[in-house]
Structure 1
């Protein structure tokens, strides 16, 4: 089995202080895709470059304490790709891809952090620009190799994916344009929402993010905005998905999926 976890850590230092390394040692994923590192290369050296026996590969934002993504891997990749070739978003540290290529197979694992538009109209427009750029990038990726894209997409796709959907119809993360973008991405058959393949009807137990405001966590007023998207053959190999809420490592919960596959 290949075990893959994705988690927005909301600061790698904070998550480790809350027990992330012990969690990784206990659960032993083969790949841990992380988002929102909020750290630079100098902050990682000697402290966070490995985690629970996994080696980390990272894409840092230019701005200190902002965004950043990484993949901790038990397996050595054949290549590492940083960024999507768009300076506006590459400067924000939003995409890293590990390639595991052999003569018989080409496979990529991606950690990606989509922008949030919740802070205002300017960032929402940036989010729309990112969606316009990442869609063809993912189409090219799926056309060339097997792929698994893990990350915080900052979009709840359907009414089942958040608690108060009626009250969020005009809010970033549940806007009609964002949901339509996700529908188009999944409709072509090149990318599969793996959690929904395994659990097509779940609602409250599917949430992966809760606001720190009010009592969202206690009342389970959450959103499902963290995904594992796979090309069809890999998606078909998915056997089990879990969202671990036993230990709060971040304002997000780890989404782990087991695949009857190998790298």
Structure 2
């Protein structure tokens, strides 16, 4: 790894299927240093076999086989810092993985996370609330551990109206509920300051930075997920639910934010597109 750290994050929607559909070609051309993966749905052996010997892989599989799964692949070796999120009774397996990397003598902490999609009025949504609560506890600890830290992955929440094409039709659906969005108001609110939230609950800002929004500006999207159904992809009726959430010190080193949207529907290898950012280390 040189002084430029290229970090790519993608929900692969099953990595074996993604490679069958062309993910390997994308990866070969993208000059990525660290790759975070969500919804891997495969074994560590599968991952290592697909990525090849030049990649060092850390993997946290889900408790239920064939579900979720997060991984981080890197050109250099990692020291796993932590894989469990929240209290002992909370099963975060396959959804949260932290690793520390030595980048030319500088420690960088990278997280790959896959937040529950949720479903209003079901246990799935209760699990999502617990996960977001656990994240709220962990983010300050991460920032204290290392001022150069980034949480990447499929966070399954569109924070603002700019993040979802059809936001008006989704206000009462998981992924754009005011209560969900309010967690993000706090994540990205000024550190230690009282934050106004969309659901009115308020709270204290944690000071993390939404790198995608900072570098894209006040524009619609750019979206990172489109349904396989209908004309969602062709019409760019998408959601921006894949993030690089960085500590301020690391966010200040970010450039070149890109969402690698497939050129056409038939060239897609996941329903998500990779989110790629360069960090000057």
TM-score, with structure 2 as normaliser: 0.85
Counting only pairs closer than 5 Å after superposition, residues 169-184 of structure 1 correspond to structure 2 as: 169-184=171-186
Q: Is the 8 A contact 2:48 2:57 kept in 1?
A: no
Give 2:83's aligned residue.
82
Give SS of 1:26's match: helix
Give 2:169's aligned residue.
167
Residues 77/253 of structure 1: CA separation in 2 closer, same or farther (3 Å cut): same
Q: Is the 8 A contact 2:79 2:101 kept in 1?
A: yes
Give 2:55's aligned residue.
54
Residues 120/35 of structure 1: CA separation in 2 closer, same or farther (3 Å cut): farther
TM-score, with structure 1 as normaliser: 0.91
Q: Which moved more, 1:245-254 or 1:217-226?
A: 245-254
Give SS of 1:13's match: helix
Residues 32/195 of structure 1: CA separation in 2 closer, same or farther (3 Å cut): same
| Alpha-carbon distance in structure 2 between the residues aligned to 1:4 and 1:88 | 32
Give SS of 1:218's match: coil
| Alpha-carbon distance in structure 2 between the residues aligned to 1:111 and 1:238 | 18
- Across the aligned residues of Structure 1 and Structure 2, the Cα RMSD in angstroms comes to 2.1
| Deviations 1:149-190, CA, capped at 9 Å, x for gaps | 110000000000011010100000000001011000110343
Give SS of 1:129's match: helix
Would you say how many aligned residue pairs link Structure 1 and Structure 2?
258
Give 2:269's aligned residue.
249
Residues 210/109 of structure 1: CA separation in 2 closer, same or farther (3 Å cut): same
Q: Is the 8 A contact 2:225 2:240 kept in 1?
A: yes
| Alpha-carbon distance in structure 2 between the residues aligned to 1:253 and 1:58 | 20
Give 1:3's aligned residue.
6
Give SS of 1:183's match: helix
Give SS of 1:210's match: coil
Q: Which moved more, 1:138-147 or 1:61-70?
A: 138-147
Give 1:131's aligned residue.
132
2:255 counterpart (230, 234, 239): 239
- Structure 1 gap segments, 5+ residues each: none
- Structure 2 gap segments, 5+ residues each: 192-206
